[in-house]
Structure 1
Amino acid sequence: MATQMKAPPSTKKEIVDVPFNYRSLVEKHSPGGRYIDAQSDVDSPWVPFGDTAAIKHLSFDVRRNLFSNILWVKGPGVVGTHLHRGTITMVVLEGSVRYLEYDWTATPGGLILEVPGESHTLVTEHPDGVKLFGWMEGPIEFYDENAQFIETVDVWWMMNHYEEYCREHGIAINQKLYL
């Protein structure tokens, strides 16, 4: 019989000084934990992504080519065919979405997992579109309707997308987004 994990034993609402041999190294080299307000534009604005979508950038990790954001397709629409070179994990926040290549539709609270080497065409038919929170690792290659390569989107592309928009609109670049 498997051992069942029990709830944490502490009920005190206080900081516990947990022993850790490398705490000084963590304090010296780690960017530390942080909170990013995704509900408002305080920490990150909505940046246009084509004519009918926008991205709220939440984090950039250049060491792992990892980035996090919320993709908002503002009404029924398509995000073009793309090939993943890394793992993608997304949660539907609002609306619904599907891929032409699959027979399912993802709805709020649903988890979408994508693996390297697969190509997808993201579609939303929901009247309000869809908002997707995602952690994306590695490059994403976009292709046109003739399977001709258009562009590679990776952590560097996403950083540039965010920073150019901020510069053009007089918005301070938020260093909390960089891990």
Structure 2
Amino acid sequence: MTKQDLITKLPDEPHEAMINRFGKEGAFIPGDDKNNPWVPFGEAAAIKHLAFDIRQNSVANILWVKGGGRIGTHKHRGVVSAVTLEGSWGYYEYDWVARPGDFVYELPGTAHTLYSDDPNGMKALFWINGAIEFFDDDANYDFTADVFWFIDHYVSYCEANNIPINNDMFM
């Protein structure tokens, strides 16, 4: 059944015309490294960007931290959800370790330091809402990563490496 077939079978509602005219259907974001590169994030990590929603200040990505690596201490200004895909990781401030299939959620205001001492590193799918404030090793503010920072991270890398930008990532 095509989209048009489905629409003609639905009750006639005034908003259908607006949806058909302005609505964006879902998108397919390839996960392969050629079309969707791992963008370096510091010395021990990389990010595969998946989606940017500027209306909600949210992003979806896969974070890869190589074995023995860590992400600096950071504080969340919104809810973050994660599903571990490969390896294991944790936060120095907590007593749990996330492994493949584990789900983690983080609340606004929490601060922690992500690490992976798994020899193969870790990969986790993150859905990040709101900004993240990063701090250096002396607890001094370093930078804020919000949806615009993540967009710039992706677009700048693609432009510098002659990789086409996937406009379907932008919601």
Note if 1:142 corresponds to 2:142.
no
Structure 1 match to 2:45: 53
Structure 1 match to 2:96: 104
After the TM superposition, which parts of structure 1 deviate over 6 Å for at least 4 consecutive aligned residues? Answer: none
Normalized against structure 1, the TM-score is what?
A: 0.87
Q: Unmatched 5+ residue regions in structure 2?
A: none
Cα RMSD for the two superposed structures = 1.5
When structure 1 is superposed on structure 2, of 160-169 and 19-28 the one drifting more is: 19-28
Distance in 2, Cα, partners of 1:96 & 1:27? 44
After the TM superposition, which residues 11-26 of structure 1 pair with which residues of structure 2 at under 5 Å, given as runs?
A: 17=6, 19=10, 21=13, 22-26=15-19
Percent identity for Structure 1 against Structure 2: 44
Distance in 1, Cα, partners of 2:17 & 2:38? 37
After the TM superposition, which residues 14-163 of structure 1 pair with which residues of structure 2 at under 5 Å, given as runs?
A: 17=6, 19=10, 21=13, 22-38=15-31, 40-163=32-155
CA contact 2:133–2:141 (8 Å) conserved in 1: yes
Distance in 1, Cα, partners of 2:23 & 2:105? 28
Residue deviations 1:141-163, cap 9 Å, x none? 00112211000001000000001
Q: Which amino acid aligns with 1:94?
A: E
After TM superposition, give the deviation of residue 44 of structure 1 in Å.
1.5
Distance in 2, Cα, partners of 1:109 & 1:23? 39
Residue deviations 1:118-167, cap 9 Å, x none? 00110111001100101101100001122110000010000000011011
Q: Unmatched 5+ residue regions in structure 1?
A: 1-13
Normalized against structure 2, the TM-score is what?
A: 0.91
Q: Secondary structure at the match of 1:33?
A: coil
Structure 2 match to 1:9: none
Q: Which amino acid aligns with 2:16?
A: R
Distance in 2, Cα, partners of 1:175 & 1:62? 13
Q: Secondary structure at the match of 1:146?
A: coil
- Bigger fraction of residues in helix: 2
